[in-house]
């Protein structure tokens, strides 16, 4: 009964309990190594192997895993899927096609939400991935509580093993990640309105001196359009300073002209 006495709720690179990734009869060591990388990308470290074709450990897996050796070193080997899942209370099976088995089918995002709910409640969970070509057999799908199907181009939907692991792991990671959808990346803080207004007044004064606002009745609109453009850019303090320099340089140039 391997699998029942350890690793009940692994704490890995993700910093908390996480789903087990169960590779059923994986064939190529390279693919196992690539899965280890994809797992670690997503903070997952509980790899379980059911009857890997070329035995275990596998030097080709290690060569491909590169910086994710820690995942391979912790990997455990089982002879059946049921043994690999013995301690899990919620199991999802990845499969491309229905096979006469009536199950709930979840998209990866919904699957990740279920996994977070289960694991957050202290219930060990895992995801099954089948062999490279054939995919999971019906017996393994039957063992699972529900299946995961990835919506992809129906004319070309086959993913390699590591990519399937990556997509499921990616959704798991996003489900626990608090990166805002959009944020300002970079050094400087955005310029406050006072700083922008000072720049706009200076720009408009210089442009008035240069006779830019012509015909005069369009002046207000032309000013508004320029303010809109610069405001939309979301200038930083540093950038406003640069623009002051630009005005200075350009007006100096103009004044130097004959």
The nearest distance, CB 27 to a copy of itself, in angstroms, is 16
Among 32, 52, 65, 21, which residue's Cα sits nearest to residue 168?
Answer: 21
| Per-residue contact string for residues 211-230; x = within reach of a copy of itself by CB under 8 A | --------------------
Which helix (H) or strand (E) segment holds residue 38: the answer is helix 29-41
3-state secondary structure of 39: helix
Q: Using CB under 8 A, which of the segments 50-58, 99-107, 127-135, 242-250 binds a copy of itself? A: 99-107
Nearer to a copy of itself, 105 or 247 (CB): 105
Nearer to a copy of itself, 49 or 147 (CB): 147
Q: Using CB under 8 A, which of the segments 131-139, 166-174, 210-218, 248-256 binds a copy of itself? A: 166-174
Q: Using CB under 8 A, which of the segments 53-61, 125-133, 143-151, 207-215 binds a copy of itself? A: 143-151
Going edge to edge, which strands form the sheet with 125-129? Answer: 76-78, 47-50, 20-24, 125-129, 90-94, 146-148
The nearest distance, CB 181 to a copy of itself, in angstroms, is 4
| Per-residue contact string for residues 113-142; x = within reach of a copy of itself by CB under 8 A | ------------------------------
What does the block give as tokens for 73? 């070193």
The nearest distance, CB 211 to a copy of itself, in angstroms, is 33
Query: What span, in angstroms and rounded, lies between the C-alpha atoms of 182 and 88?
Result: 36
Is the distance from CB of 44 to CB of 148 less than 8 angstroms? no
Count CB atoms within 10 A of the CB of residue 19: 28
Q: Distances in Å between the alpha carbon of 124 and those of 14, 17, 31, 50?
A: 15, 8, 25, 18
Quick check: 166 binds a copy of itself (CB under 8 A)? yes
Nearer to a copy of itself, 180 or 258 (CB): 180
Among 125, 55, 46, 53, which residue's Cα sits nearest to residue 88?
Answer: 125
Among 94, 124, 97, 131, which residue's Cα sits nearest to residue 111?
Answer: 94
Q: Which of residues 176-195 bind a copy of itself (CB under 8 A)?
A: 177, 179-188
Quick check: 155 binds a copy of itself (CB under 8 A)? yes
Is the distance from CB of 61 to CB of 192 less than 8 angstroms? no
- Interface residues with a copy of itself (CB under 8 A) are 13-14, 37-38, 40-43, 67-68, 98, 100-107, 109-110, 147, 149-153, 155-159, 162-163, 166-167, 170, 173-174, 177, 179-188, 234, 236, 239
């Amino acid at each position: 009964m391997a699998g029942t006495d350890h690793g009940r709720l692994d704490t890995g690179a993700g910093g908390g309990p996480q789903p087990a990734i169960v590779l059923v009869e994986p064939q190529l060591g390279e693919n196992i190594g690539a899965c280890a990388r994809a797992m670690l990308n997503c903070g997952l470290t509980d790899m379980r192997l059911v009857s890997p074709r070329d035995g275990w450990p596998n030097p080709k897996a290690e060569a491909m895993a590169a910086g994710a050796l820690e995942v391979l070193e912790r990997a455990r080997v089982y002879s059946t899927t049921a043994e690999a899942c013995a301690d899990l209370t919620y199991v999802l099976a990845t499969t491309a096609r229905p096979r006469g088995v009536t199950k709930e089918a979840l998209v990866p995002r919904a699957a990740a939400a279920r996994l977070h709910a289960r694991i957050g409640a202290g219930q060990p969970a895992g995801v099954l991935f089948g062999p490279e070509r054939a995919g999971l057999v019906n017996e393994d799908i039957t063992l699972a509580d529900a299946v995961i199907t990835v919506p992809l181009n129906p004319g070309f939907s086959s993913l390699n093993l590591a990519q399937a692991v990556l997509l499921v792991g990616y959704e798991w990671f996003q489900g626990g990640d608090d990166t805002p959808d959009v944020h300002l990346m970079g050094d400087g803080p955005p310029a406050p309105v006072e700083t922008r207004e000072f720049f706009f007044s200076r720009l408009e004064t210089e442009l008035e001196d240069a006779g830019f606002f012509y015909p005069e009745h369009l002046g207000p609109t032309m000013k508004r359009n320029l303010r809109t453009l610069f405001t939309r850019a979301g200038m930083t303090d540093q950038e406003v300073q640069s623009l002051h320099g630009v005005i200075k340089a350009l007006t100096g140039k103009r004044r130097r002209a004959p």
